[in-house]
Amino acid sequence: RFLHIFTILLFTTSISAQAGTGILQFLSLPTGARQAAFGGTNITLYDDDLNFAFANPALLSEKTHNYLGLNYTNLFNDVNIGSAIYGRNFSDKDFMAFGAHYIDYGIFIGTNEFNQKLGSFTAKDIAFTAMYCRWLSPRWTIGVTMKPIFSIYERYFSSALGFDLGFSYHNEEALFSAGLVLRNVGFQFNGYNSLDPNKKQ
């Protein structure tokens, strides 16, 4: 009986995990080459690479003061991803960073149901970030990120506000670090409303 119940729960969980309930999935893309090399997301590496703060704001530190991170990737067919981030410390325990990352999906040809060309359009996503991190103890830091997010697909526009909350533990003597982060929690202000008032949504 236990085996039957476990099997049913396992398949139920697997099926429900496939449901596409997320939006603005570009927020999960890696923002730098090292982040991509670590499998797309790394929330534990504690060094002077400012780009890792996109994944976990608790990774800001005294090492990221006055650092600037710039990244650009051309994926395929004119799909471009880029990011910029700047770190600034305001005390020995308070660290901040400001940045943005975007994805440009390129230029598309618009057609009607008869395959007649109606012109071209673009699709873009962009998120601005403001991060704050503070020491809790000699080995623990806590960080939070606020992200205003904007998305434009052809004539449809959406805006949202997202937050990250992260923790980081690092022990340099033992060469050990760990991280915990809650990412991309937030809400949409509006969901892909038409920018053209004369056209139906």
Spatial distance between the Cα atoms of 59 and 86, rounded to a whole number of angstroms: 14
Q: What pLDDT does residue 24 have?
A: 83
Q: 143 and 168 in contact (C-beta within 8 Å)? A: yes
Q: What pLDDT does residue 1 have?
A: 56
Low-confidence ranges of the chain (pLDDT < 50): 3-4, 6, 10-19, 200-201
- Burial class (CB within 10 angstroms; exposed 0-12, middle 13-18, buried 19+) of 163: middle
pLDDT in tens, 52-62: 999 999 999 99
pTM of the model: 0.81
- Give the position of tokens 């962009």: 126
Q: What pLDDT does residue 13 have?
A: 44
Q: What pLDDT does residue 85 have?
A: 96
Give the H or E element holding residue 7.
helix 2-17
Q: 177 and 44 in contact (C-beta within 8 Å)? A: yes
